[in-house]
């Protein structure tokens, strides 16, 4: 296209922009899911899809029916805020329809499961019990190279 006159480049630029806008609107219309919720900005069908998945985690209340004692023990001490499943794995791997179907995870051989939360890091609140260099030295004076659960009970870690 060649237009005469000093404003030809502006006409071409406007034509390109209008073309791009048109292409954008067409593509947007085609690829937007039909259930799109413009008010809260999410795909409406996603709700049904997510609720169709089977729950893997039951929460601490789901353990109480069969493990009342442990639940009471945990509730009294400073690990009360923890989820059983953060240490023992998902309920769905252990119980199905009220019957035990598989062993829950019991890690009685590594310190990693404790250091996962207690490893010292500057980003943690100062009053959180952290296993920093000083504490490691104190602990080694008691007994070097022992795993955490040799001295701390996981459900009641009170030293």
**Interface residues toward ligand HEC, by CB under 6 A:** 58, 60, 62-63, 65-67, 70-71, 74, 78-79, 81-82, 84-88, 91, 94-95, 98, 100, 103-104, 106-108, 111, 113-118, 128-129, 131, 138-139, 142-143, 146, 148-152, 154-155, 157-159
Closest C-alpha to 108, from 155, 61, 68: 155
Sign of CA dihedral 85, 87, 89, 91: negative
Closest C-alpha to 60, from 40, 86, 99, 36: 86
Min CB(99)–ligand HEC separation in Å: 6
Identity of the residue, 37 or 140, whose beta carbon is nearer to ligand HEC in the bound complex? 140
Min CB(22)–ligand HEC separation in Å: 54
Identity of the residue, 40 or 141, whose beta carbon is nearer to ligand HEC in the bound complex? 141
Q: Is 131 exposed, middle or buried (0-12, 13-18, 19+ CB in 10 A)?
A: middle
């Amino acid at each position: 296209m060649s237009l005469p006159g000093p404003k030809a480049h502006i006409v071409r630029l406007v034509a390109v922009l209008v073309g791009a806008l048109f292409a954008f609107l067409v593509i947007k219309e085609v690829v937007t899911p039909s259930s799109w919720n413009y008010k809260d900005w999410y795909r409406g069908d996603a709700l049904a899809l997510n609720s169709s998945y089977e729950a893997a985690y039951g929460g601490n209340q789901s353990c109480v029916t069969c493990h009342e004692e442990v639940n009471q023990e945990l509730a009294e001490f400073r690990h009360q805020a923890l989820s059983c499943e953060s240490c023992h794995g998902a309920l769905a791997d252990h119980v199905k329809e009220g019957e035990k179907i598989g062993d829950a995870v019991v890690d009685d051989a590594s310190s990693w499961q404790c250091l996962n939360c207690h490893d010292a890091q500057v980003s943690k609140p100062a009053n959180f019990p952290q296993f920093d260099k000083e504490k490691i030295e104190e602990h080694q004076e008691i007994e070097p190279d022992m795993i955490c659960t040799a001295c701390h009970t996981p459900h009641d870690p009170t030293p």
